[in-house]
Structure 1
Amino acid sequence: MDTQFLETFLAVIDCGSIAAAARQLDLAPTTVAQQIKALEKQLGNALLRRSGHTVKPTPAAHRIVERARLIVREARDLCASASSGVLPAGPLRLGATQYALMQLLPPALHEWRRRYPEIEIYIEPGNSQELMEQVVGGDLDAALIVHPLFALPKSCDWIALVEEPLVLITPATMQVDDVLATIAREPFIRFSRKVVGGKLVETYLQGHGLKPKAQFELDGIDIIVKFVAEGLGVALVPDRPAANHEAQGVRRCEVPGPRLFRTLGIVWQRASVRAPLVVALNELMAE
């Protein structure tokens, strides 16, 4: 059985249509349809029901989908383990948040391409929670994420790369004599409480007995900075090392302790055959 046919089957299941799977796999829709038919013939059962432009899995497909994922992962691991080089063969399937893609990865990827030109890296963008779930599920080898506010699974390893303390940002023209009084007095822009940074902000506010005049709740530091620069309020956000506050039109103020930090790092499955690739990439980011 050709594992490529199984990969195509899984792509159709995940995408919900042959056309979408074809775009994801960079194949012609007719090729995808032919591979599905070949797989159905090998298994002796229909796997998909066509309904207009979409497809639905049959009961037989539901029964085999998780086993198909396992077979595809095992085949990839086998190929990686059979590498004749010092490191396992790629591709390294890496998840990354937007900030990691913009700030942490590019310098390391330049060096990776120079040292390991034969090892490809596939990068999946996403938010920290989604990427963490994909690492645990085996769909990604590693991910650059914000550490959640709970312990990671014991099957995972973690290395912290950046610690970002909470700071107050205000419009550049605002004079700040008392940080806590400013938070209580001025219109406040909340960092979304659905994400780790926003939850840290809420913990800080509660710890200091602050109930600010919240005007907006936004997910995304760049958007919050823009709103603050436009004079729409003040905000507590994690302080990113590369941030140029003056150029962004905001002023940064350290906040009274206790200091709370958002931690960015890399997480991976300890038992993965591609774990040495993750360690090598982490060494380049550290450099």
Structure 2
Amino acid sequence: MELTQIRMFKTVYDTGSIARAAEVLHCVPSNITARIKALEAELGIALFYRQGRGLKISPAGEIFLTYAARMLTLADEAKRAVHPDAAPSGPLRIGAIESSATARLPRLLAKYHARYPDVSLELITGTGMQLLDATQNNKLDGAIVAIDVKRPQLRRTSMYREDLVLIAPESLGPVHSAADLQGKSIFMWPEGCPYRAALERWLLQSGQTQPIISIANYGTIVGCVSAGAGVALVPKGVFEQYRKGAGWVGYEFAELTSVDNLFYWHEHSEHHPARDAFVAMLRAEFEPALTPLE
């Protein structure tokens, strides 16, 4: 089993075809086909099967994919470890929940690219659980989520605390308590969102049982509120991003407690100059500095 075979297998999976993988790897398709067949022979399993004009990974291939990603990550880490003083370079895959990607990271990403132009930074958005799963399976080098949980093989550190703001159209009139939301449409991210959970706790404590309309996009949520269709609870960063000309009012309540956003990374990828430089810039951007958790 060779790293070249494993990289070819992973690239075929990522691109969906041998022809596209050959373009990415700058080799001929027949070479990839032969190498993957040799790998399948060594493993004694089929990694792919044909589906129409493309390839679909087999169930056994899905299992092997997790190990392949880990082996390639370890190989890349080994290369970086040989040159510990080298400037950050190469790929860096960072995941972030949408509120962080939209409202907190743009300025930092621009600074990072200017400072480390040799790093190929890729930002992937998703739900907190999706990003943690991807980090745990070595598909991401780190992730920013608003969930504080212990996960096997993952380490985490506090990044910043996100205050929460209830936004409501001006036509609704003042909102003094949760009772003022009775009968109003509420737009929030789907179940599992920590900001939604904070709102649900507030409503429950106030004796309210309001239905919530699930929308997995802050632009759409803000658009609904701006159109006067209802209210929403958003992180303060999102509020500040969209507030200009939005036509709505923001309210903060002591009962709606702040939510910590954390950075997670895999414990087996301790030495990663590009990621370490990214975290260092996070420390400088958000005060107080990050503090490690157990």
| Normalised-by-shorter TM-score class | 0.7 to 0.9
Alpha-carbon separation, structure 2, partners of 1:56 and 1:73: 23
Alpha-carbon separation, structure 1, partners of 2:199 and 2:29: 48
Structure 1 residues 247, 178: closer, same or farther in 2, change over 3 A?
Answer: same
Q: CA deviation at 1:188?
A: 3.3
Partner of 1:168: 166
Q: 2:258 aligns with which of 242, 245, 261?
A: 261
Could you report, residue by residue, the CA deviation over 1:233-266 in whole angstroms, capped at 9, with x for unpaired residues? 22333332633425211111122x3232233232
State the number of aligned residues. Answer: 280
Q: 1:280 aligns with which of 259, 264, 277?
A: 277
Q: Tell me if 1:117 matches 2:114.
A: no
Structure 1 letter corresponding to 2:209: K
Structure 1 residues 114, 206: closer, same or farther in 2, change over 3 A?
Answer: same
Partner of 2:107: 107
Q: How do residues 4-15 of structure 1 correspond to structure 2 at under 5 angstroms?
A: 4-13=4-13
Q: Tell me if 1:179 matches 2:177.
A: yes
Alpha-carbon separation, structure 2, partners of 1:271 and 1:49: 32
Partner of 1:220: 217
Structure 2 letter corresponding to 1:206: L
Alpha-carbon separation, structure 1, partners of 2:232 and 2:271: 41
Q: CA deviation at 1:27?
A: 5.4
**Unpaired stretches in structure 2, ≥5 consecutive residues:** 286-294
Conserved? CA contact 1:191–1:236, under 8 Å: no
| Paired residue secondary structure (1:95) | strand
Conserved? CA contact 2:77–2:272, under 8 Å: no
Identity %: 23
Structure 1 residues 209, 94: closer, same or farther in 2, change over 3 A?
Answer: same
**Unpaired stretches in structure 1, ≥5 consecutive residues:** none
Structure 1 residues 171, 279: closer, same or farther in 2, change over 3 A?
Answer: same
Q: CA deviation at 1:142?
A: 0.6
Alpha-carbon separation, structure 1, partners of 2:234 and 2:121: 31
Q: With structure 2 as the length reference, what TM-score do the two structures score?
A: 0.78
Partner of 1:248: 246
Could you report, residue by residue, the CA deviation over 1:25-73 in whole angstroms, capped at 9, with x for unpaired residues? 7357x83453132342466466443343133456875775444333322
Partner of 2:92: 92
Query: Which range moved further: 186-195 or 134-143?
Result: 186-195
